[in-house]
């Protein structure tokens, strides 16, 4: 089942990156929770359900002219999958460019994503699922 989880997360991640919310949502539990990124400006926030999650992503991107997430690895951790990614953002108006190596932990149950937690630090994300970088 865990390789299947990796493929589910790969599909969800790709769909949401492209803004294809309806496509990605079919693999997300209707009551899924999206937690703000640990170490980021959204830390402590929680969005419940696909629609609140979409709104949270859109709100987080409001300050950026460009926002790109490039996955580098999908790591199987049983009922969780860690996505190590490169984040690129260009500030709206300022043009300031920011590039970071971040991570997202997806938790799955019965073939659906039920929880998503971002991390500014990849090692912390891996530790959260019992792995090391």
How many whole angstroms separate alpha carbon 12 and alpha carbon 113?
Answer: 9
| Tens of pLDDT, residues 99-133 | 999 999 999 999 999 999 999 999 999 999 999 86
What residue ranges do the domains of the chain occupy? 2-128
Neighbouring CB atoms inside 10 A of 26's CB total 11
Full-model pTM: 0.90
CB distance 92 to 65 below 8 Å: yes
Please report the pLDDT score of residue 96 as a whole number: 87
Q: What percent of the chain has pLDDT over 90?
A: 59
| Tens of pLDDT, residues 1-28 | 589 999 999 999 999 888 888 898 999 9
The third-level CATH classification (topology) of the domain covering 2-128 is Nuclear Transport Factor 2; Chain: A, (3.10.450)
Inter-CA distances, 15 with 38, 98, 129, 132, Å: 23, 23, 24, 28
How many whole angstroms separate alpha carbon 22 and alpha carbon 11?
Answer: 12
> Which one is predicted more confidently, 126 or 98?
126
Q: What is the mean pLDDT of residues 22-38?
A: 93
């Amino acid at each position: 089942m865990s390789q299947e989880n990796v493929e589910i997360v790969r599909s969800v991640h790709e769909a949401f990156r492209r803004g294809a919310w309806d496509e990605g949502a079919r693999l997300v539990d209707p009551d899924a929770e999206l937690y703000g990124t640990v170490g980021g400006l959204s830390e402590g926030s929680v969005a419940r359900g696909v629609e609140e999650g979409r709104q949270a992503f859109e709100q987080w991107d409001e300050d950026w002219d460009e926002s790109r997430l490039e996955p580098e690895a999908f790591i199987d951790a049983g009922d969780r999958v860690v996505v190590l990614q490169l984040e690129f953002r260009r500030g709206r108006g300022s043009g300031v460019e920011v590039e970071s190596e971040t991570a997202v932990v997806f938790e799955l149950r019965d073939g659906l994503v039920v929880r998503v937690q971002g991390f500014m630090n990849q090692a912390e994300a891996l530790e959260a699922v019992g792995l090391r970088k």
